[in-house]
C-alpha cells in the first residue's frame, strides 16, 4: 500500500470510528434491574463498572463539571422543588402534601420549568456509561446525551427511566437509572424540564480518553489528507 492510499484509508478509518461512536444508540440498562429504588448512593455502581463522579456535596471528579441550580438545604427547599426520596442511613422526615416523606438531607440538583442543567466532561475525556438518581419522576422531564464528534439522543418523560411508572410526579418515588451506551462516547448530558421540577442527585459513570493509537491514526490520516491536497494543487499549478 503506497502512502497516498494509506493516508486516505487512515483518514476514512478515523472518520468511521468517530461516526460509529456518535451513532450508537443509548438504551436504559435493565440489569441488575431498572429502576433501582432508593439507590441514592450507588450501591450497585461497582457491579456496573461505575464510580460516583458528582454528588453535589463533596465528590466532584476533576474531569467533569456541572452547571445548574443546586439546592443546598433539603429541609427547607425552594417552593417548586422537593428533595429526592431516600430510605436509609441519614434519612430525615419532611412533610409533603401533609404526608411524611423520607428524604436524604444532602445537596441535590433541581431544574425548574423552562430551564436546563448540564453535566459535561473536561478536556479530551468522555463518558462511556452513566447513571443518576432521580426523584419524583415527571412526564415533562427530558434528558439529552450529546455525543463526541456531534449528534445527540434525547429521552422524554417515562423513557428516561424505562417507562414504569408513567411519570406521575409522586415524591415518594426515587430511582437510580443506568444507561447502556453501546459504544457511544458522550461529552455532555442536558437535563431539561417543561415544568417544576426535575430533581436528581448522585451523577455516576465511567470516563475514558482517546487511546494514543487512535489519536496517532487520526493524526496520520488528517496529515495524509493534507499532503494529498497539497500535491494535487502543485500538479494543477
pTM: 0.80
Give the number of other CB atoms < 10 A from CB of residue 112: 17
Residue 157 carries which DSSP code? G
Establish if 15 belongs to a structural domain.
Answer: no
Q: Which residue has the cell 455502581?
A: 45
Report in angstroms the alpha-carbon separations of 166 from 73, 138, 169, 232. 29, 8, 9, 59
> Could you tell me if residue 17 is inside a domain?
no
171: in domain = yes
Give a yes or no: residue 78 inside a domain: yes
Look up the domain containing 206 and give its range.
26-210
Distances (CA, A) of 193 to 71, 115, 167: 16, 6, 13
Q: Give CA–CA dist 124/208, Å, rounded.
A: 8
Q: How many domains does the chain contain in total?
A: 1
106 within domain boundaries? yes
Q: Is 19 a domain residue? A: no
CATH number of the domain enclosing 179: 2.60.120
Cell numbers found for residue 188: 455532555
Q: Does residue 219 fall inside a structural domain?
A: no
How far apart CA 190 and CA 66 sit, in angstroms, is: 10
- 55 in any annotated domain: yes
pLDDT per residue as tens, the chain (237 positions): 554 444 444 444 444 444 445 556 999 986 555 678 889 988 889 989 999 999 999 999 999 999 999 998 766 667 788 889 998 888 999 887 788 989 988 999 999 999 999 999 999 999 999 999 999 899 999 999 999 999 999 999 999 998 877 778 888 889 899 999 999 999 999 999 999 899 999 999 999 998 765 444 455 555 555 555 566 655 555
Amino acid at each position: 500500500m503506497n502512502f497516498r492510499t494509506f493516508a486516505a484509508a487512515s483518514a476514512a478509518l478515523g472518520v468511521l470510528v468517530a461516526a460509529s461512536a456518535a451513532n450508537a444508540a443509548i438504551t436504559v440498562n435493565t440489569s441488575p434491574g431498572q429502576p433501582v429504588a432508593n439507590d441514592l448512593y450507588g450501591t450497585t455502581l461497582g457491579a456496573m463498572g461505575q464510580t460516583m463522579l458528582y454528588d453535589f456535596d463533596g465528590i466532584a471528579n476533576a474531569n467533569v463539571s456541572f452547571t445548574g441550580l443546586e439546592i443546598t438545604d433539603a429541609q427547607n427547599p425552594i417552593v417548586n422543588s422537593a428533595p429526592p426520596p431516600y430510605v436509609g442511613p441519614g434519612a430525615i422526615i419532611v412533610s409533603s402534601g401533609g404526608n411524611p416523606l423520607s428524604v436524604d438531607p444532602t445537596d441535590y440538583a433541581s431544574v425548574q420549568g423552562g430551564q436546563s442543567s448540564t453535566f459535561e466532561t473536561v478536556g479530551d475525556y468522555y463518558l462511556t456509561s452513566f447513571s443518576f438518581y432521580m426523584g419524583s419522576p415527571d412526564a415533562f422531564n427530558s434528558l439529552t446525551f450529546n455525543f463526541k464528534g456531534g449528534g445527540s439522543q434525547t429521552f422524554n418523560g417515562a423513557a428516561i427511566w424505562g417507562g414504569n411508572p408513567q411519570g406521575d410526579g409522586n415524591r415518594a418515588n426515587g430511582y437510580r437509572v443506568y444507561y447502556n451506551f453501546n459504544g457511544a462516547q458522550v461529552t455532555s448530558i442536558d437535563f431539561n424540564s417543561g415544568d417544576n421540577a426535575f430533581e436528581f442527585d448522585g451523577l455516576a459513570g465511567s470516563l475514558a480518553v482517546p487511546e494514543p493509537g487512535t489519536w496517532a491514526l487520526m493524526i496520520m490520516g488528517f496529515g495524509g489528507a493534507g499532503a494529498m491536497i497539497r500535491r494535487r494543487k502543485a500538479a494543477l499549478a
